Amino acid sequence: MYLAELNIAFPKLERDDPKFAFFFDNIDKINNLASRMDGFVWRYGEDGKDLPPDQTPWPNAVVNMSVWENPKGLEHFVWNTVHKNIYDRKEEWFEAIESHFFAMWWVEEGHVPTLDEAKIRLDRLNEEGNSEFAFGWSHLPNVKLWQQQRCG
């Protein structure tokens, strides 16, 4: 089984606000880095078919969804690369979210998750907490870097 992940964020700035430029100027760099990481399989939008923000299940959200061969590859990318520098600045650009904004779940090798599927997973995580259906970092006993970061 591979690991799918979804991460959503709601901007507190207009997308063309100069304060948001650093984030948007680095999206391609971060995505290209992810695609070169060991364990990376697929990322939403890499086929050029991502939806405009107002047409996703989370209107106006910035959406990231990817599939990894295993949790270690995702963990390394999130916490041990330049991605962490962007993550550390998220409060500058995005609203605080009271509920879960990040979910993971297992997928069959070759399965490409949809945004509708991801929404069901995130909603279930928010309703019921960690389960085999959807979970956060704490549900994965072999990854620990998130504990040092206090990831939501």
Length of the chain: 152
Which pLDDT does position 144 carry in this prediction?
Answer: 65
Which pLDDT does position 149 carry in this prediction?
Answer: 59
134-145, pLDDT tens digit by residue? 999 888 877 766
Which pLDDT does position 148 carry in this prediction?
Answer: 59
Instruction: Decide if pLDDT at 151 tops 50.
Output: no
Query: In Å, how far from its chain's centre is CA 70?
Result: 15
Mean pLDDT of the 59-84 span: 94
Contact assessment for residue 6 and residue 65, using Cβ atoms and an 8 Å cutoff: yes
Hey, what amino acid is at 96? Answer: A
Mean pLDDT of the 30-58 span: 88
Instruction: Decide if pLDDT at 152 tops 80.
Output: no
**Closest of 69, 75, 68, 66 to residue 143, by C-alpha:** 75
Q: How many helices (H) and strands (E) does the chain have?
A: 6, 4
Is the model more confident about 135 or about 52? 135
Give the CA dihedral 138, 83, 108, 135, nearest 10 degrees: 20
- Looking up tokens 């996703």, which residue turns up? 56
Tokens of 135: 């979970």
**Closest of 76, 72, 82, 71 to residue 107, by C-alpha:** 71
Domain parsing of the chain, residue ranges: 2-149
Mean pLDDT of the 59-69 span: 94
Q: Please list, in sequence order, all residues whose beta carbon lies within 8 angstroms of the beta carbon of residue 125, skipping any fewer than 6 positions away.
A: 100, 103, 131, 133, 134, 135, 136
Which pLDDT does position 21 carry in this prediction?
Answer: 93
Instruction: Decide if pLDDT at 99 tops 70.
Output: yes
Rounded CA separation 17/107 (Å): 37
Q: What is the CATH number of domain 2-149?
A: 3.30.70.100
